Amino acid sequence: MLKILTVCLGNICRSPIAEEVLRQKCIDQGLEVVVDSAGTANYHVGSPPDKRMIQTASKFGFDIANLRARQFGPEDFDDFDFIFTMDESNKSNVLRLAKNDKHRSKVFGFQEFAGVAEPNFVPDPYYGDAKDFEETFRIVEQSAHRIAIQLKNWKP
Ligand code: 4NP
């Protein structure tokens, strides 16, 4: 059973959609997984995802309305096998809490692990409009598919 955590800043836009889409893509590949998400910040702890991301998800057949935001913590390094960060800022915030090389070795950029160079981060749609949310969704969906295939063939 692979345990995967997706991480962004607020845990209300990018990482919840990445959590749900990656869960589905892993199931599609026949992988047994637990997928969760967290934010490096505590601004939105306990809140559902941003309404605009709930709507975008729903438009493409994904339901994220019941997810609730939580903050990333040092215990997550022991609880998860893979930690996928949405951008470089999320990654450095996560790595700052790592205590050893085993912790550090679990952390990858979402785009990096997917092997997608352009864009090399998942754009934050929070200050954007519906078009930005849809663009982020499309990037996440394409990369999640690639990540699920990478995980299926993963050899440490
Ligand atoms: P997320 O987006 O990191 O993709 O969840 C954001 C959500 C909230 C804020 C920033 C980004 N905020 O500043 O409250």
Ligand 1 centroid distance, CA of 39 (Å): 8
pLDDT score for 91: 98
Ligand 1 centroid distance, CA of 152 (Å): 30
How far apart CA 10 and CA 127 sit, in angstroms, is 12
Q: How many H-runs (helices) and E-runs (strands) does the chain carry?
A: 7, 4
State if residue 124 touches ligand 1 by the CB under 6 angstroms criterion. yes
pTM above 0.95, yes or no: yes
Active centre residues (catalytic): 8, 14, 124
Phi, psi of 107 (to 5 degrees): -100, 125
Taking each helix axis from N to C end, the angle separating 14-28 and 130-152, rounded to the nearest 10 degrees, works out to: 40
State if residue 108 touches ligand 1 by the CB under 6 angstroms criterion. no
Which protein residue has the closest C-alpha to ligand 1 atom 10? Answer: 10
How far apart CA 112 and CA 130 sit, in angstroms, is 26
pLDDT score for 20: 98
Q: Which atom of ligand 1 is nearest to the CA of 43?
A: 14
pLDDT score for 65: 98
Low-confidence ranges of the chain (pLDDT < 70): none
State if residue 7 touches ligand 1 by the CB under 6 angstroms criterion. no
CA atoms within 13 A on the CB side of 153: 6
pLDDT score for 154: 83
pLDDT score for 49: 98
Token code pair at residue 1: 């059973």
How far apart CA 71 and CA 28 sit, in angstroms, is 28
How far apart CA 1 and CA 17 sit, in angstroms, is 21
pLDDT score for 155: 75
Mutate to test the pocket of ligand 1, among 13, 17, 19, 140 (most ligand atoms within 8 A of CB): 13
Single out the residue of 51, 83, 78, 81 nearest to residue 67, CA to CA: 51
Q: What 3-state class would DSSP assign to 138?
A: helix
